[in-house]
């Protein structure tokens, strides 16, 4: 007799097919089985799901349904834990189950038929045993204490450790003790950006053997991703090391999740289902009975407050290994420096001295390109993008004007397109210009062997080509660069041992940003950057972090000078509490895109008007529709609507009730809309 199968299939974001589709099958297959099913005129990959609760299902007659196609029963079914994570993600972030489920699988798996899969699974695997690799150092007292807590308490844990305090060693040991307790167990280690932390993978492979560790991130080819995914799914891989997408890896024996640099904004997906991999890691660990360790020197205020409330357990590691001191912080009051100077004379002098001593410096500015704007000195022409409400950035290297929002690129005009004046000039500075000016300013400085200074630049432009980043990092490590100039990319993760000076050239904009999270991001950026200096204990004493600012009296800098994250967090949380901002309130955004701003806002207004009558509507504050900061990108107008609520469950209930209303709204000219739950950027 034919069976009824409920299958989750890839569905568009706002399709009314919220749940499963029904098919018939000769044999029963358990939930989690991968199948190929007809959908319209296509055949797609789907996942067998549990029977939905609705009564309607009862009435279905298998004989009336289309049959499933191939069944990929060479693979064990996806676990109940995995299905629960997917269902939670879809519900919490307001996306369809099918979209989330299929996006969580490697692209190549979705395309394979049963024969191809069988061939894949037969492929011989290099069964390198998870042999104990390199020796582990003796733990510091802080590390031992943290590890003991992780072993004996339920968590979740926030490992609050200074840069260089040995957090990674704690992760390694936590994984090791998990494996000792349960030789079959698996660990998931999440990192913000794998390219920036090649040392981390090397350390795990060295400790546990290369065969035990697989990587999972978007920089891999599809065949590589499938290979890693299968190894994890079959339980062969002991450790999965990956970026945010890896939170959805299939791990049948998951025992531990580590989220390194848990404060990093890249854990939040910014398109499709806008999930937070950190938050999902905490959810997944609890649901599957695994432990979770969030690590950072500058935790997110959300996690910090969760410790305050006793929801997370805070494990502190204040001291750097080898007693390397954190660098002294020097604030340069730019109000007292020559006007318009990019580099203040004292900073320039300090960099020059480092070069002369054969030490390295790291200088960063959060703007790539040569100058953010090119302007005419005779009329009011500026290098605006014709498709976006933004300026195109001047890149001197290839003499182009490039829009960093839509990519629109043109050669720099010979004369002003508006008045013909040939005197058009760059306004403001980017990393290219920084590199050029530093070269001029340090032209007379000599290295210990009498040769001129060597300056290199590292940013999204210089690292665009494959392998370029690795090559540049290797150059810095090999001591072939004296001054490294770049965007905040240079401040992340690398273990540059001989850098003794780090400088933030112009970080002020974050102090006065309309984004309430800007100070939090700046503080963590500066603390991370400071952590790059003086990793080598022998040089640590002479290490310095320089900050040029027009607001040296800002409380953020007072906390920075003392490397006092708790003081900073306390001050910020006080402000957030007074203003009823996250983490004291919960937010969601409704974003709309249309050909005109009027249409986008009309959609949002109708959505807002429908709000008060809905479940939970009385608890949710619905703000007025506003244009987004960069209002137009690639000729599409963008607007958004902010929701705020003191209770997460009330906000969730409201969003669930709102979703069908939004789907029913018909506004002519609307291109698309999306909900962002717990948005990071507002
Ligand atoms: P974090 O992740 O907190 O920045 P790491 O784990 O990378 O710190 O440790 C910083 C440095 O100290 C690394 O070079 C690491 O090998 C070393 N280290 C960590 N723990 C110990 C220890 N217990 N004994 C000796 N060296 C250690
Ligand atoms: Zn002009
Ligand atoms: Zn543009």
- With beta carbons less than 8 A apart as the criterion, state whether 71 and 10 touch: no
Instruction: Calculate how far, in angstroms, residue 380's C-alpha sits from the geometric centre of ligand 2.
Output: 6
- Compute, in angstroms, the gap from residue 408 CA to the centroid of ligand 3: 5
Which string of b and e fits 226-236 if b means at least 16 CB within 10 Å?
A: bbbbbbbbeee
Write out pLDDT tens, residues 261-290.
Answer: 999 999 999 988 999 999 999 999 999 999
Q: How far apart are CA 9 and CA 68, in angstroms?
A: 12
Which residue in this structure is represented by tokens 């996250």? 582
Tell me what pLDDT residue 537 has: 56
Report the nearest-CA residue for atom 20 of ligand 1.
166
What DSSP character marks residue 198?
A: H
* Ligand 1 pocket check for 164: Cβ under 6 Å: yes
Secondary structure element (H or E) that encloses residue 573, with its range: helix 565-578
**Atom of ligand 1 minimally distant from the CA of 168:** 6
Q: Report which bound ligand comes closest to the CA of 420.
A: 2
CB of 140 shorter than 6 A to ligand 1: yes
- Asked if 447 and 358 count as a contact pair (C-beta separation under 8 A), the reply is yes
Measured from the alpha carbon of residue 630, the closest ligand is 3
Ligand 3 center to residue 591 CA distance, Å?
A: 19
Residue whose pair of structure tokens reads 């996006």 in the numeric block: 103
To test the pocket of ligand 1, the residue of 141, 163, 165, 168 to mutate (highest count of ligand atoms within 8 Å of its CB) is 168
Q: Is the peptide bond before 140 cis (omega within 30 degrees of 0)?
A: no
Contacts of 334 (CB under 8 A, 6+ apart): 341, 344, 548, 549, 550
Determine phi and psi for 265, rounding to 5 degrees: -60, -20
Helix axes 114-122, 222-233, angle to 10 degrees: 70
Taking the centre of ligand 1 as the mean of its atom positions, its distance from the CA of residue 141, in whole angstroms, is 13
Which residue's alpha carbon is at the smallest distance from atom 9 of ligand 1? 166
Q: How far apart are CA 433 and CA 594, in angstroms?
A: 37
Q: What distance in Å separates the CA atoms of residue 632 and residue 672, rounded to the nearest whole number?
A: 14
Q: Is the CB of 165 under 6 A from ligand 1?
A: yes
Q: Report the C-alpha gap between 486 and 566 in whole angstroms.
A: 28
- The protein residues having their C-beta less than 5 angstroms from ligand 2 (an ion) are 376, 378-379, 381, 416, 418-419, 421
3-class DSSP state of 559: helix
Q: Ligand 3 (ion): which residues have CB within 5 A?
A: 385, 387-388, 403, 405-406, 408
Nearest Cα to Cα of residue 275 among 100, 157, 521: 100
What pLDDT is stored for residue 323 in this prediction?
58
Q: What are φ and ψ of residue 628, in 5° steps?
A: -70, 160
**Dist. CA 422 → ligand 2 center (Å):** 8
Reported as type and span, the H/E element at residue 42 is strand 42-49
Three-state DSSP class for 332? Answer: strand
**Is residue 163 within 6 Å of ligand 1 at its C-beta?**
yes
139 CB near ligand 1 (under 6 Å): yes
Of 146, 167, 169, the one to substitute when testing ligand 1's pocket (max ligand atoms within 8 A of C-beta) is 169
Kindly give the distance from the C-alpha atom of residue 341 to the centroid of ligand 3, in angstroms, as a whole number: 30
Q: Which two tokens stand for residue 331?
A: 């604030």
Q: Residue written as tokens 């032209």? A: 443
Give the residue, out of 145, 160, 166, 319, with the most ligand 1 atoms within 8 A of its beta carbon, to mutate for a pocket test. 166
Q: Is the peptide bond before 637 cis (omega within 30 degrees of 0)?
A: no
Beta-carbon count within 10 A of 223 CB:
11
Which residues 6+ apart lie within 8 Å of 613 measured at CB?
Answer: none
167 lines ligand 1 (CB under 6 A): yes
* Helix H or strand E encompassing 7: strand 3-8
Residue nearest to atom 23 of ligand 1 (CA): 139
Distance 143 CA to ligand 1 centre (A): 10
C-alpha 468 chain-centroid distance: 21
The number of the ligand 1 atom at minimal distance from the alpha carbon of 169 is 6
> By the 8 A CB rule, do 352 and 444 touch?
no
- Name the nearest CA neighbour of 136 among 92, 169, 183: 169
- In the reported structure, the alpha carbon of residue 373 is separated from the centroid of ligand 2 by a whole-number distance in angstroms of 14
Least distant ligand from the CA of 387: 3
Distance 421 CA to ligand 2 centre (A): 5
**Considering only CA atoms, which residue is closest to atom 19 of ligand 1?**
166
- Atom of ligand 1 minimally distant from the CA of 161: 3
255, two tokens: 């025992």
Ligand 3 center–CA 629 separation, angstroms: 14
Sheet holding 400-402, edge to edge: 393-395, 400-402, 409-411
Peptide bond connecting 206 to the previous residue in cis, omega within 30 degrees of 0: no
Ligand with an atom nearest the CA of residue 413: 2
Chain-wide mean pLDDT for the chain? 89
What pLDDT is attached to residue 512? Answer: 83
Dihedral (CA of 297, 299, 303, 306) sign: positive
H-helix or E-strand spanning residue 441: helix 431-441
Distance 663 CA to ligand 3 centre (A): 30
560 lines ligand 1 (CB under 6 A): no
Contacts of residues 380-387 at CB distance under 8 Å and 24 or more positions apart, as own/partner, are 380/418, 381/416, 381/417, 381/418, 381/419, 381/424, 382/427, 387/632, 387/633, 387/634, 387/635
Name the residue at shortest CA distance from atom 18 of ligand 1. 166
Q: Is 166 in the pocket of ligand 1 (CB under 6 A)?
A: yes
Rounded to whole angstroms, how far apart are CA atoms 98 and 86?
9
CB of 432 closer than 6 angstroms to any ligand 1 atom: no
Q: Give the separation between CA 25 and CA 27, rounded to whole angstroms.
A: 5
Distance 632 CA to ligand 3 centre (A): 8
The segments of the chain whose pLDDT lies below 70 read 1, 12-18, 53-60, 124-134, 195-197, 323-324, 493-497, 534-540
- Partners of 483 in the beta sheet? 361, 455
**Dist. CA 147 → ligand 2 center (Å):** 65
Taking the centre of ligand 1 as the mean of its atom positions, its distance from the CA of residue 150, in whole angstroms, is 18
Rounded Cα distance between 189 and 244, Å, is: 10
Give distance in angstroms: CA of 449 to centre of ligand 1: 33
């Amino acid at each position: 007799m034919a069976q009824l199968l409920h299958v989750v299939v890839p569905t568009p974001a706002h399709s009314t097919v919220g749940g499963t589709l029904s098919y018939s099958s000769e044999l029963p297959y358990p939930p989690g089985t991968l199948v190929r099913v007809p959908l319209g005129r296509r055949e797609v990959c789907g996942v067998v799901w549990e029977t939905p609760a609705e009564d309607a299902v009862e009435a279905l007659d298998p004989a009336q349904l289309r049959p499933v196609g191939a069944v990929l029963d060479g693979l064990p079914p996806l676990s109940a834990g995995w299905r629960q994570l997917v269902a939670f993600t879809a519900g919490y972030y307001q996306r369809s189950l099918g979209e989330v489920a299929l996006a969580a699988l490697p692209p190549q798996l979705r395309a394979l038929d049963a024969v191809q899969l069988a061939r894949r699974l037969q492929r011989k695997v290099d069964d390198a045993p998870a042999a104990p690799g390199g020796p582990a150092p003796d733990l510091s007292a802080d590390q031992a204490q943290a590890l003991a807590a992780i072993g004996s308490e339920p968590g979740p844990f926030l490992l609050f450790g200074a840069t260089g305090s040995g957090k990674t060693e704690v992760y390694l040991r936590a994984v090791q003790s998990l494996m000792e307790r349960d030789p079959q167990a698996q660990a998931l280690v999440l990192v913000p950006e794998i390219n920036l932390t090649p040392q981390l993978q090397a350390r795990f492979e060295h400790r546990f053997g290369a065969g035990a560790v697989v990587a999972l991130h978007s920089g891999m080819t599809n065949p590589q991703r499938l290979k890693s995914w299968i190894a994890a799914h079959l339980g062969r891989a002991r450790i999965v090391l990956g970026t945010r997408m890896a939170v959805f890896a299939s791990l049948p024996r998951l025992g531990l999740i580590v989220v390194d640099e848990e404060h990093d904004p890249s854990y939040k997906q910014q398109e499709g289902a806008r999930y937070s991999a950190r938050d999902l890691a905490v959810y997944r660990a609890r649901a599957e009975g695994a432990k979770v360790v969030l690590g950072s020197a500058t935790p997110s205020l959300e996690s910090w407050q969760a410790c305050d409330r006793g929801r997370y357990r805070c494990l502190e590691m204040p001291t750097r290994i080898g007693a390397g001191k954190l660098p002294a912080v020097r604030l340069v009051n730019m109000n007292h420096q020559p006007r318009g100077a990019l580099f203040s004379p004292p900073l320039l002098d300090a960099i020059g001295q480092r070069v002369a001593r054969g030490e390295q410096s790291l200088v960063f500015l959060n703007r790539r390109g040569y100058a953010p704007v090119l302007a005419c000195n005779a009329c009011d022409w500026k290098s605006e993008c014709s498709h976006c409400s933004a300026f195109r950035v001047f890149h001197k290297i290839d003499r182009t004007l490039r829009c960093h929002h839509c990519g629109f690129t043109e050669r720099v005009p010979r004369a002003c397109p508006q008045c013909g004046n040939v005197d058009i000039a760059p306004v403001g500075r980017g990393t290219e210009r920084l590199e050029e000016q530093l070269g001029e300013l340090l032209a007379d400085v000599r290295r210990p062997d009498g040769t001129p200074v060597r300056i290199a630049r590292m940013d999204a432009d210089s690292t665009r080509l494959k392998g370029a980043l690795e090559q540049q990092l290797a150059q810095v490590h090999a001591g072939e660069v004296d001054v490294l100039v770049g965007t905040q990319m240079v401040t992340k993760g690398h273990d540059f041992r001989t850098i003794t000076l780090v400088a933030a050239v112009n970080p002020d904009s974050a102090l006065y940003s309309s984004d309430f999270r800007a100070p939090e991001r700046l503080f963590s950026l500066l603390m991370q950057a400071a952590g790059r200096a003086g990793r080598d204990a022998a040089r640590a004493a002479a290490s310095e972090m320089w900050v040029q600012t027009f607001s040296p009296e800002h409380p953020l800098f007072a906390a920075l000078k003392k490397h006092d994250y708790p003081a900073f967090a306390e001050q910020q949380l006080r402000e957030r509490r007074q203003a009823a901002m996250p983490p004291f309130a919960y937010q969601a955004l409704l974003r709309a895109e249309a050909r005109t701003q009027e249409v986008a806002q009309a959609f949002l207004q109708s959505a807002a008007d429908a709000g008060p009558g809905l479940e939970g509507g009385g608890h949710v504050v619905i703000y007025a529709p506003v244009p987004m900061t960069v209002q137009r990108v690639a000729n599409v107008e963008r607007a958004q609507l902010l929701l705020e609520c003191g209770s997460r469950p009330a906000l969730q209930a409201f969003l669930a009730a709102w979703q069908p209303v939004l789907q029913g709204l018909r506004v002519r000219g609307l291109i698309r809309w999306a909900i962002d739950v717990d948005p990071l950027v507002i």
